[in-house]
Amino acid sequence: MSEIEKQALRIGVFLCHCGTNIAGILDMKQLGEFASHLPGVVQMAENLYTCSEPGQQEIVKLIRENNLNRVMVVACTPKLHEVTFRKCVIEAGLNPFLLEMVNVREQLTWVHSQEPQLALEKAKDTLAAAVARANLLEPLEYIRVPVTKKALVVGGGIAGLTASLDLAEAGVDTILVERKPSLGGRMAQLCKTFPTMDCPI
């Protein structure tokens, strides 16, 4: 843990307009004003597209200039850009796990597009909860764990048999477990199957 990460909480909040996806519904000025008064927040910035190259560079710049030790990006789903923003945090010299993302696009503006005032209140609550979570963020380290190339398939029906064969052909040591004395499951109870009318086993 670096000296900056050990210091008292210094959170930077980065609001993304996402074009009009977010800013077309939420009053970003009001949300920014609210964010700037939350405990631990020392820096607040807005961007038209925070995921763009200029937006990313502004995050890096403001982390360094303000000695931020927690970063909060208020934008879209983490699935889309969490890796992008973690790279920014790393570039600025912080642990990537000191990033908190707040999804106000998919979970808020897209579902409350007809209720801008209620959407704003929900955004404020979501932001306050995220700041509380940021208080608990700790720097983590990536670890490597050895993996044993072995699989256990439970059930010797058609699905279990197929999975076992596919795994074995891929070079995985496979154990198939079946509770009944014979394999095949329901298929073993049939005498003919369409279209060939062959025995299924």
Domain identity same for 118 and 172 = no
CB atoms within 10 A of CB 96: 18
66 and 129 together in one domain: yes
Residues 75 and 124 reside in one and the same domain = yes
Residues 96, 161, single domain; the answer is no
Tokens (6 digits) for 58: 């502004």
The model's pLDDT over 110-150, given as tens digits with 9 standing for 90+, comes to 999 999 999 999 999 999 999 999 888 989 998 999 988 99
Structurally, the chain folds into a number of domains equal to: 2
Over range 26-41, report the average pLDDT.
95
Q: Is the pLDDT of residue 7 over 90?
A: no
> Are 41 and 97 found together in one domain?
yes
Asked which of 88, 108, 134 is the last residue of a domain, the reply is 134
- Do both 105 and 12 map to the same domain? yes
The DSSP call for residue 198 is B
* pLDDT reading at 200 higher than 70: no
Mean per-residue pLDDT over the chain, rounded: 91
What's the pLDDT score for residue 4?
Answer: 60
Q: Which residues of 12-51 are buried (b: 16+ CB within 10 A; e: fewer)?
A: bbbbbbbeebbbebbebeebbebbeebebbbbbbbbeebb
Q: pLDDT tier at 194 (50, 70, 90 boundaries)?
A: low
Task: Please say if the pLDDT value at position 196 is more than 80.
Answer: no
Do 29 and 68 belong together in one domain? yes
Q: What is the pLDDT of residues 16-27, one digit of tens each?
A: 999 999 999 999
Q: Do 87 and 181 share a structural domain?
A: no
Q: How far is Cα 109 from Cα 105, in angstroms, rounded to an integer? A: 5
Q: Are residues 38 and 111 in the same domain?
A: yes
**Which CATH number is 13's domain given?**
3.40.50
User: What is the C-alpha to C-alpha distance for residues 82 and 88, in angstroms, rounded to an integer?
Assistant: 10
Q: Decide if 185 is inside a domain.
A: yes
Question: Which of 6-10, 86-90, 128-132 has the least mean pLDDT?
Answer: 6-10
Let me know whether 122 and 153 are in one domain.
no
Q: Do residues 129 and 171 both lie within one domain?
A: no
- Residue 3, pLDDT above cutoff 90: no
Look at residue 184 in the predicted model and tell me its pLDDT: 78
Among candidate residues 134, 159, 192, the one where a domain is terminated = 134
Domain that holds residue 86: 3-134
Please write the tens of the pLDDT for every residue from 37-57.
999 999 999 999 999 999 999
- pLDDT for position 193: 67
What is d(CA 45, CA 111) in angstroms, rounded to the nearest whole number? 25
Same domain (yes/no): 29, 119 = yes
Last residue of a domain, one of 92, 109, 134: 134
Amino acid at 101: M
